């Protein structure tokens, strides 16, 4: 497997960890402690402590960005595009994702913290844009133009 593919697996694991860790532990502690029922948790209702709500938003950030990164990795794999640029950007992407999630969940969201969190998001965005551009250029270099038959 390539580094971008390993990072995709790591990103998927991180997304699951946030779901089962802070979110799952919070919900189950409420349920097992008799403070909530299983049926109390609804997607269409804001619930829980501020910390829990931040964890939910951080998890949704992961869920929203996972398919975008996965599409880039899929195209890179199909185009057989590899190299140190994609590997480095993938690793930077995952590190920024982990820092963004951690900043979102564990710190009260002051203007300064939100700015730092946005900075981590911006790093991810730039990484994905450069990766997508590199994959597109690589794929374009390998396209052979064939003449259409005369009709």
The CATH number given to whatever domain includes residue 73 is 1.20.120.550
Is residue 33 situated within a structural domain? yes
Instruction: Round to whole Å and give the CA distance between 2 and 8.
Output: 10
The answer to whether position 147 is within a domain reads: no
The predicted structure's pLDDT at residue 142: 76
Q: Does residue 148 sit within a domain? A: no
Percentages of the chain per state (helix, strand, coil), in multiples of 5 = 75, 0, 25
Q: Does 149 reside within a domain?
A: no
Write down the pTM of the prediction: 0.88
Into how many domains does the chain fold? 1
Q: Which residue segment(s) compose the domain that 89 sits in? A: 3-38+50-139
Tens-binned pLDDT, residue by residue, of the chain (151 aa)? 999 999 999 999 999 999 999 889 998 998 899 988 888 888 788 888 898 899 999 999 999 999 999 999 999 999 999 999 999 999 999 999 999 999 999 999 999 999 999 999 999 999 999 999 999 999 888 766 555 566 6
| Beta carbons of 59 and 18 less than 8 angstroms apart | yes
Residue 84 counted as domain residue? yes
């Amino acid at each position: 497997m390539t580094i971008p593919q390993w990072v995709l697996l790591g990103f998927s694991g991180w997304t699951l960890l946030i779901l089962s860790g802070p979110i799952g532990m919070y919900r189950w502690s409420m349920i097992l402690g008799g403070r909530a029922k299983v049926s109390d948790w609804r997607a269409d209702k804001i619930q829980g402590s501020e910390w829990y709500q931040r964890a939910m938003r951080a998890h949704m950030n992961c869920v929203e960005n996972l398919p975008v990164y996965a599409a880039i990795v899929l195209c890179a794999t199909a185009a057989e595009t590899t190299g140190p640029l994609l590997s480095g950007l993938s690793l930077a992407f995952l590190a920024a994702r982990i820092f963004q999630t951690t900043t979102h969940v564990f710190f009260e969201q002051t203007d300064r913290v939100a700015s730092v969190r946005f900075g981590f998001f911006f790093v991810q965005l730039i990484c994905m844009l450069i990766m997508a551009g590199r994959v597109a250029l690589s794929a374009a270099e390998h396209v052979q133009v064939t003449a259409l038959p005369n009709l």
